[in-house]
Amino acid sequence: MNQEPTKDYNPPTTSSQASLGPLAKKLMEIKGEIRGIDLKSDADFVIKERGKEGLNKVEEELKEVGYPVEYEKLETMGFYPGGLKALSLLAIKKALNFNDEKIREMGSHAIKVSFIVKIFIRYFSPISKFFFKESPKIWNKYWTAGEFIPVELDEKKKYAIVRVKNLNLHPIYCLYLEGYFSTFAHLVTGAEEINIEETKCVFRGDQYHEYLIKWK
């Protein structure tokens, strides 16, 4: 099984192609890498929701599309092809019939169990400093591609605008990020109610992804 980080990761030439097959190949061609911890958080969520059996289904789905993954064997701090994140989400959605909300929940869950986020906990306060100075660093801890840009923060009006540039993964990842940013905002602000909206999206013809986060 190929559970090595990117430098040794050589996607096999698949003999059988499932419905995700062509998309998978395309995704795997996207430049940029993601940390294993983020992929492993997908597995955590699946196990939490559907148990080990659910995870087996997902792994089977990935195997079918020609990119077999054993989540357990992924190295937490290792780097893997960035497209694998979108493929993981799509495989989960397909194998377990998850709706969009579940995908958002996955993003929310990821931040809760993320070791990387924990490293940054000490910088959560004050919010403005964290928002503008520290939060982009978190992105870079996950991704070797893309860019996280804190655009605007208004603590009085209780909203923030962030952008993700140069990462055109898949719309499913947009949902995932909604959940991720939403929970992040909750952890940083302590607000009970968080509303998030992807106001701009490259898949809708925009130059970048932009999220408007509001809290009460």
Min dist CB 129 to another protein, Å, is 9
Q: Which residues in the 25-54 window bind another protein by CB under 8 A?
A: 48
- Considering only the stretches 10-18, 54-62, 73-81, 82-90, report the one whose residues sit in contact with another protein under the rule CB under 8 A: 73-81
Q: Using the rule CB under 8 A, which residue among 189, 200, 208, 212 binds another protein?
A: 189
Min dist CB 120 to another protein, Å, is 10
- Residue 25 token pair: 């190949």
Interface with another protein, residue 165, by CB under 8 A: no
Count residues contacting another protein (CB under 8 A)? 26
Find, among 124, 134, 199, the residue nearest to 161 by Cα: 199
Residues 6+ apart with CB under 8 A from 52: none
Interface with another protein, residue 125, by CB under 8 A: yes
Q: Using the rule CB under 8 A, which residue among 71, 80, 124, 176 binds another protein?
A: 124
Interface with another protein, residue 149, by CB under 8 A: no
- Residue 3 token pair: 């559970």
Interface with another protein, residue 82, by CB under 8 A: no
Min dist CB 190 to another protein, Å, is 4
- Considering only the stretches 80-88, 109-117, 157-165, 203-211, report the one whose residues sit in contact with another protein under the rule CB under 8 A: 109-117
30 backbone φψ class: left, alpha, beta (φ>0; ψ -120 to 50): beta
Cα–Cα separations (whole angstroms), residue 173 to 109, 168, 179, 181: 14, 9, 10, 12
Interface with another protein, residue 109, by CB under 8 A: yes
Q: Report residue 192 CA to chain centroid gap.
A: 23
Q: Is 31 helix (H, G, I), strand (E, B) or coil?
A: coil
- What sign does the dihedral 149-151-156-159 (CA atoms) show? negative
- Residue 67 token pair: 């990119």
Amino acid identity, position 110: A
Min dist CB 54 to another protein, Å, is 16
Distance between CA atoms of 156 and 214, rounded to whole angstroms? 11
Interface with another protein, residue 183, by CB under 8 A: yes
Min dist CB 191 to another protein, Å, is 9
Residues that bind another protein (CB under 8 A): 5, 7, 48, 75-78, 108-109, 112-113, 115, 118, 121-126, 183, 186-190, 192
